[in-house]
């Protein structure tokens, strides 16, 4: 089995190398990841500028490693398009420091890197742990091994994108696994303004979300946020079709009206 490992926290992130060391027992691993932190860039692709790649020494023996001066999506696109000659059987992205839950998957570099593999027909897994401090990478790394072996044994669908979030707990304190859907919540963004002479600068910051505060709010049962609050592992199967069936049905009923109004002269 050949595995492509990547992330959005950058090539030197601890979570990446915990992941690589673990899945190396399943097969051959190649690392292609951003050369710096690219958190929150989503599916951004460097279309109008050169993307430089350099091969660097890997801290894990027998693993080839490439640092990309670009985004997580760039890394996977280049890996699968030009850097790697042989077929990749699995893309794993992570292990991210901090959860990727609900609609935040839309801006997650971790999830977006896995998505690029999925779009090219390769099973892909994004792994995140719900903490930024003293992260328990070991449980997530072992889960990656379990899932990789299941894919290797063809026990899971081949065309698959999984978003996995784990509570930041040792294994004996985790309350089980839930197969979930995305919760309807994202981190609220705040804006901080700074003045430097006549120039104004703005910082977009992520405020603490409702799911982290755990007070006065109960997420919908069966969602990824609900699972993490219950100290359970959340595994959410994703797909790339963002179409809203409800809105689509409503719009179809209005199609003639919209087209007729388009031909009316402006009032």
Q: What is the per-residue pLDDT for 208?
A: 60
Tell me what the mean pLDDT of segment 59-74 comes to: 95
Mean pLDDT of the chain: 91
Tens digits of residue pLDDT in 233-260? 999 999 989 899 999 999 999 988 888 8
pLDDT, tens digit, 9 for 90 and up, residues 155-187: 887 789 999 999 999 999 999 999 999 998 766
Residue range 1-56, pLDDT digits in tens = 999 999 999 999 999 999 999 999 999 999 999 999 888 888 899 999 999 999 99
Tokens at 213, concatenated: 């505060």
DSSP string, 177-210: EEE-B--S--PPEEEEEEEETTEEEEEEEEPPPH
Percent of the chain with pLDDT over 70: 94
Residues 6+ apart with CB under 8 A from 218: none
Taken in order of first residue, the domains within the chain and their CATH numbers are 2-185+217-246 (3.40.1210.10)
Distance in angstroms (rounded) separating the CA atoms of residues 144 and 192 = 38
pLDDT of residue 215: 62
The pTM of the full predicted model, rounded to 2 decimals, is 0.91
Q: What is the pLDDT of residue 195?
A: 85
């Amino acid at each position: 089995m050949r595995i492509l490992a990547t992330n959005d926290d950058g090539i030197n992130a601890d979570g990446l190398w915990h992941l690589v060391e673990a899945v190396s027992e399943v097969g051959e691993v190649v690392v292609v990841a951003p050369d710096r932190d690219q958190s929150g860039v989503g599916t951004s692709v460097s279309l109008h500028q050169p993307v430089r790649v350099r091969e660097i020494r890997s801290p894990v023996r027998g693993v080839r490693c490439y640092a990309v001066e670009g985004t997580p999506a760039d890394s996977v696109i280049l890996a699968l398009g030009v850097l790697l000659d042989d077929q990749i059987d699995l893309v794993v992205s992570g292990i991210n420091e901090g959860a990727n839950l609900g609609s935040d998957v839309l801006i997650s570099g971790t999830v977006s890197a896995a998505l690029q593999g999925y779009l090219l027909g390769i099973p892909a897994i994004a792994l995140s742990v719900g903490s930024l401090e003293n992260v328990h990478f070991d449980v997530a790394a072992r889960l990656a091994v379990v899932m990789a072996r299941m894919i290797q044994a063809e026990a899971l669908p081949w065309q698959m994108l999984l978003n996995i979030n784990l509570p930041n707990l040792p294994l004996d304190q985790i309350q089980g696994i839930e197969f979930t859907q995305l919760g309807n919540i994202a981190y609220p963004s705040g804006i901080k303004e700074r003045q430097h002479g006549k120039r104004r600068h703005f910082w977009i910051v992520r405020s603490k979300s409702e799911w982290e505060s755990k007070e006065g709010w109960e997420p919908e049962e069966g969602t990824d946020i609900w699972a993490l609050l219950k100290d359970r592992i959340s595994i959410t199967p994703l797909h790339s079709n963002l179409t809203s069936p409800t809105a689509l049905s409503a719009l179809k009923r209005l199609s003639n009206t919209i087209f007729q109004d388009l031909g009316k002269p402006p009032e």
